[in-house]
Copies of this chain bind each other. A is one copy, B any other.
């Protein structure tokens, strides 16, 4: 209950920032005003403000009234995972064309990413993704068998596999993302209509259920100059984006 309240307070403030009702530089209502407004004790209000501070959305606190620092509001979980959810969140129309849906033995890379035995059956989907009808990405998705088999009852051209799998009870809870650059391989070259070796931004991700089971591994490659990732950070807030050196 207390959890719902602090989350609701934080979300309401995010919404006011998103809509511009609270502009960058604006002072938030005081803790007491928020308590009164939400009929809340100090605890949930402070938790909500701490979350917004940790996200870098507000600055100040400890005596100083908090002010809005940025209008770029951190994204919910599904916006970074689901291409469809992301496209709609930015007011664009997602599209997809399925090139292949296959049940096949896992190769070494996918096996290690999914934590299954090499050679055990997995379901792989190769899809082109569009934004307002324009080709942007080649998606290679691999699912552990029990999850992937659900896709045989789904039209992968119709929309989000992510949303469909959730509707079938697969609860995605955590994910890891790796972002790097790769040269287009022959498959990329044919489908993304670029020269072999062309610079592609790649987003690899593994998604897990709440009990830690890895259920999918994606290798998404974006056409040159179609997509970027961005991040705001500030001196007093930690950032969850890590820079990694290959060993």
Contacts and interface: CB of A to CB of B under 8 A. Distances in A.
Contact of A201 (B42, B77, B181, B239): B181
Contacts of A3: 61-62
Interface in A32-57: 42-43, 46-47, 50-51, 53-56
A245 B176 CA distance: 21
Contact of A179 (B87, B228, B237): B228
A74 interface: yes
A208 B185 CA distance: 39
Contacts of A197: 197-199
Contacts of A99: none
A225 B243 contact: no
A227 B55 CA distance: 25
Interface residues of A, number: 74
Interface of A: 1-3, 6, 42-43, 46-47, 50-51, 53-56, 61-62, 69, 72-77, 79-81, 86-87, 90, 92, 131, 136, 172-183, 197-202, 222, 224-246
B178 A228 contact: yes
Contacts of A54: 50-51, 54-55
Contacts of A80: 231, 233, 239, 241, 243
B224 A183 contact: yes
A189 B113 CA distance: 33
A246 B55 CA distance: 24
A69 B210 CA distance: 11
Nearest to A208: B234
Given A46-B43, A245-B136, A177 B77 contact: no
B231 A246 contact: no
